[in-house]
Amino acid sequence: MKTVLKNVLGVVLVAAISAGAAIGTSTYIMNKKQAESSYSIESDYGFKQPVHFANYNAVAPETIDFTVIAEKAVNAVVHIKSVTKAQASNPQQQYIDPFEFFFGNRGNRQQQLQPRVGFGSGVIISTDGYIITNNHVIDGADEIEVTMNNNRKYSAKIIGTDPSTDIALLKIDETNLSVIPFGDSEKLKVGEWVLAIGNPFNLNSTVTAGIVSATGRSVMTGRDDVSRVASFIQTDAAVNPGNSGGALINTRGELVGINTLIYSETGNFAGYSFAVPISIAGKVVSDLREFGTVQRALLGVTIADIQNVPEEERNKLKVLEGAYVADFGTRSSAKEAGMEVGDVITAVNGTRVRSVSALQEQISKYRPGEKVSVEVDRKGSTKNFTVELRNAQGNTDVIQSKGDAADVLGAAFKELSAEQKRSLGISYGIEVTSVTNGKFKEHGVPKGYIIMQVNNQRINSIDDFEKIVERLLKSNGQEQVLIIRGITPSGRTRHYAIDLVD
């Protein structure tokens, strides 16, 4: 078996076409009536969870009974089915027939494409229907169906997504649900037993056990988002395609991670699986519920692991672990606090930092405006700084969700009538019926413009268009651009490139 380092490509996302979840519940012995009726809204991340589940200081039984944990956990595991409308592989060739575009519909020439269906898992984290999963499980989905362990089915809506951590928050309309309580992923120890419960290969409610192999693990995910947070819990609990979005739980039945990645040269489990720590995932879903987007705090530093520092500089360092400060960003709060290039960050609020991924995990727990104590080693001397964290814009303002498509674009739309399609010689598209203050007005998109394609996807309805725009608005990515193709009121073809980021 090749090692991880020999084949970085072997680390693959457990794709949304087959993703799964693991969940766990507490083994605390409580009166059943009390367990069902006593709830708290004061859990660490603000979700409604049973009171007895919120007592994380209780000592686990000396004799671990996986049967008790598993029996309770499976009721908070859900199966997720995501359906995405199919798009032709080459939109320019298959979606727009030049004869149809200029001379009218010459018969039914459209390719009949089947929707893409993916499967994954999720974890119920609130009694009133909030579910955490991976972003890649539901990314691009037009419809999301959630199936409970008792086979009840629900339609779910997306509350928010964060590609940088591969976390998403869903909501179904139900109450008094079984949940998995939040644990403390930072207290996990290497060698500690954990369980993964999910739906590998659509085998619902599958339970596997293993130990924590490592924490703070940084692996190549294939994502090129510079703001991605990669600090994973590594385990040897069997996780396969279908487990994505599932829970990793400790022996007290507490949620400590969301299963996200596997290492594999074949696509199936090869002994290594990775989970997003709940210290990161919990804060992300809390932000998504409250603000619609993640409040990502930054120190304002460019960092590197010590082994990646040029040898000449590395030889000057007095420590072998930590995050090396290579540079500062604009309006850097760390620089203003007194930190210098060449410092090695070794702790945040008293928690030891051994690597870049460990530093990311610590900072990701906070919001802009909060202050943290940062310990650094400077040429052998220990120095401490109090740093006020900022957002990507260099301030401490709360970033709100950008809103829906109509609000951002400042436009209204309507479906094309059969007569309009005949007169224009097209078979699809929507019409811009009004333009007010917004992105359309800024970029000169006129009233009466017919939108036919957006980002190489054919627009058959207003719903098609709005889903593309709203998906971009929730992506938090660096490139949130609409490339629109269509026909102006004068009959000319015209393209617009609209940047949704202010």
Please report which residue ranges of 246-387 form alpha helices under DSSP H: 278-291, 311-314, 333-337, 356-363
**Separation in Å, CA 347 to CA 187, 350, 406:** 16, 6, 45
- For 199-340, list the strands marked E by DSSP: 206-217, 232-235, 247-249, 255-263, 272-277, 301-305, 323-328
Residue 2 half-sphere exposure toward CB, CA atoms < 13 A: 12
Catalytic residue flag (residue 495): no
Return the closest-CA partner of residue 479 out of 449, 456, 500. 500
Q: Which residue is catalytic, options 18, 126, 139, 166?
A: 166
CA–CA distance from 442 to each of 162, 387, 413, 435, 496 (Å)?
Answer: 28, 38, 17, 10, 11
Cα separation values, 20 from 201, 264, 279, 346, 440, Å: 8, 16, 20, 36, 40
User: At 181, which helix (H) or strand (E)?
Assistant: none
Contacts of 292 (CB under 8 A, 6+ apart): 159, 160, 400, 401, 474
Known active-site residue 227: no
Residues 400, 474 contacting (CB under 8 angstroms): no
Angle in degrees, CA 169, 272, 149, rounded to 5: 45
Distance CA 353, CA 268 (A): 32
Active site residue 244: yes
Closest-CA residue to 259 (of 290, 229, 238, 284): 238
The one catalytic residue among 82, 136, 162, 213: 136
In order, the DSSP letters of 95-133 are T--HHHHHH---S------PPEEEEEEEEE-STTSEEEE
Q: Which of 244, 264, 332, 364 is catalytic?
A: 244
Give yes or no for a contact between 79 and 146, defined as CB atoms under 8 angstroms apart. Answer: yes
Judged on CB neighbours under 10 Å (0-12, 13-18, 19+), 143 is: middle
Catalytically active residues, by annotation: 136, 166, 244
